[in-house]
Structure 1
Amino acid sequence: MYVTIPTQPSANADVTPLRNAHTIPAEARLKAGSYLYFEGDSVVWLYQVITGVLRLTRMLEDGRRQVISFGYPGDIVGFPSDGLHHTDCDVLVTARLQPYRRSSLECGDGDPELHQKLLQAALREISAMQDHFMMLGRKSAIEKVASFICVLSDRVGRDCGAYRHVELPMSRTDIADFLGLTTETVSRTFTQLRKSKIIAIDNIHTVIILRPTALLALSLGDRE
């Protein structure tokens, strides 16, 4: 998941694997805190997230961390760079994953339909990554945080009464490392949104959107 215009199905709905028949091996299940792969590992499998949340990260040369993206249901992670994984990938919320062989992406000899679906998923990721990088360079802190909440609202938000609730399994530091901000700036921005009565914070991991139109306007750069 990147901060961009969502193109994946909402994670509130059940995710259907790209290919139900002849998929080998069966679903993998990983507990929160475990790692799926590490940067530099050879890519053998790609993984479609069925349930749960993944975190993809890289370490910079100076020791700082960059969160590259989050993997939500419907996302596919593990696309290779010169045959290798270019990020670490760990599990934030216990996940079910459908593996697909890397060869299914690189050639369509075995299953042309699966090859085409994986190729389209890779192209969507490239486009979303470009949009996300543009957002990082152009938006202010409040615009970035508002955009982040809006995208998660669309992907995993749930309606409770008159308001929409969004679960944030990641820490404020994760959000900061994802949006190119400091943890203090992210915390301050959440407080600003709360004081403006645009959101409420039920607990550190739950945001309640009180004024969705105002939040969307902020994400687009329209200030009240």
Structure 2
Amino acid sequence: MFPPELGEHGTLVHTRHGQPLPLSLCGEETVFVVRMATLLFRLTLADNIRQGVTLLYPGDVFRSAFAPPRSAAHLIALTSGEVLRYRFDTFSRLLSTSPAARDYFDLAVARQAARQAIHLTAVGQLDSSQRLITFLMELATHIGVPASEGRIVFEMPLSRTEVAEYLGLNADTLSRIMSRLRNEGLLTQPDRHTVFVRDLAALAALTPASQSMMSTRRAAPAADFPER
């Protein structure tokens, strides 16, 4: 559960699509706690090598020290929402005085590390279809909500090019796999941003990472989400 102390000491930032979130305040380290948004942590290395490293969902925590030194790191809001921002010294004092805040931070970081390990394994070991399906399972697990006829719906937070970058795929390959999944009746897309998963169990059966990914979900069960 979200400790009340976190809300009392943080600065509420309202995000919009594409908004960069500065990783320092007057040269000081920052911490972000995601309330209601999806964020992307992206690195740009020498020779303009750019990579989306991880997605952050409601409940996640990001400390600017997570970014490697001597790299161009960016935290970008992919959706409108709310993020709590702290100076690191303020957040550190809060963790030292509030066991609930400390437990929340430790659990959030552990859950994110597990999710990132699954993502890295998928990119390094799974074939193109399994990589994309693992990513779709990630979105369904962390931002999907129940819809009619037993479907799960979520808004795709990344563009086709960004998804291809995140998964290490060619954009055309990505499009072909999505078309196949639609033709097989596993997905429907009324527009390019909205995805309905028609059979979550059937989709999960197509990647060996599905059970591990679903286990990284926040504590609240799917039934707690409002229906659309």
TM range (shorter): 0.7 to 0.9
3-state DSSP class of the match of 2:78? Answer: strand
Matched length: 206
2:11 aligned partner, one-letter code: A
Residue deviations 1:30-82 (CA, integer Å, cap 9, x gap)? 3222210259x955221111112211111132323211112221111235148
Tell me what 2:48 maps to.
Answer: 63
Note if 1:186 corresponds to 2:171: no
Q: Is the 8 A contact 1:17 1:50 kept in 2?
A: no
1:94 — aligned with what?
Answer: 80
Tell me if the contact between 1:80 and 1:86 (Cα under 8 Å) persists in the aligned partners.
Answer: no
State the partner residue of 2:221: none
Q: Which amino acid aligns with 1:64?
A: I
CA displacement at 1:154 relative to structure 2: 1.8
Question: Structure 1 CA distance, aligned partners of 2:190 and 2:111?
Answer: 34
Query: Relative to 1, partners in 2 of residues 1:178 and 1:206: Cα closer, same or farther, differing over 3 Å?
Result: same
Rounded to whole Å, the distance in 1 between the matches of 2:4 and 2:124 is: 37
Counterpart in 2 of 1:26? Answer: 11
- Does the 8 Å CA contact 1:58/1:66 hold for their aligned counterparts? yes
Distance 1:22 1:107 in 2: 11
**Which residue of structure 2 lines up, in the alignment, with residue 155 of structure 1?**
142
Percent identical: 21
Partner Cα separation in structure 1 for residue 68 and residue 158 of structure 2:
29
Amino acid of the structure 2 residue aligned with 1:36? L
Residue in structure 2 matched with residue 9 of structure 1 by the alignment: none
Q: How much does 1:88 deviate? A: 0.4
Q: Aligned residue for 1:122?
A: 109
The answer for the alignment partner of 1:145 in structure 2 is: 132
Question: What is aligned with 2:214?
Answer: none
Q: Distance in 1 between the 2:68 and 2:96 partners?
A: 19
What RMSD, in angstroms, separates the aligned Cα atoms of the two structures? 2.9
Structure 1, unmatched stretches of 5+, are: 1-15
Return the letter of the residue paired with 1:175: V
Distance (whole Å) between structure 2 residues aligned to residue 93 and residue 141 of structure 1: 26
Cα deviation digits, residues 150-202 of structure 1 (max 9, x gap): 12112222222212222112101111111121222211111111122221221
Of 132-141 and 84-93, more deviation after overlay is shown by 84-93
Change (3 A) 1:165 1:111: closer
Opposite residue 99 of structure 1, the aligned amino acid is: R
Contact 2:11 2:84 in 1 (8 A): yes
- 5+ residue gaps, structure 2: 211-228
8 Å Cα contact 2:128-2:169 kept in structure 1: yes
Preserved contact between residue 144 and residue 179 of structure 1 (Cα < 8 Å)? yes
SS at match of 2:3: coil
| Greater shift in the superposed pair: 193-202 or 111-120 | 111-120
SS of residue in 1 equivalent to 2:79? strand
Counterpart contact for 1:136–1:179, Cα < 8 Å: yes
TM-score by length of 1: 0.78
Query: Comparing both structures, which one devotes a greater share of its residues to helix?
Result: 2
Deviation per residue, 1:117-139 (Å, 9 max, x gap): 32333333333322221121111
Matched position secondary structure for 1:70: strand
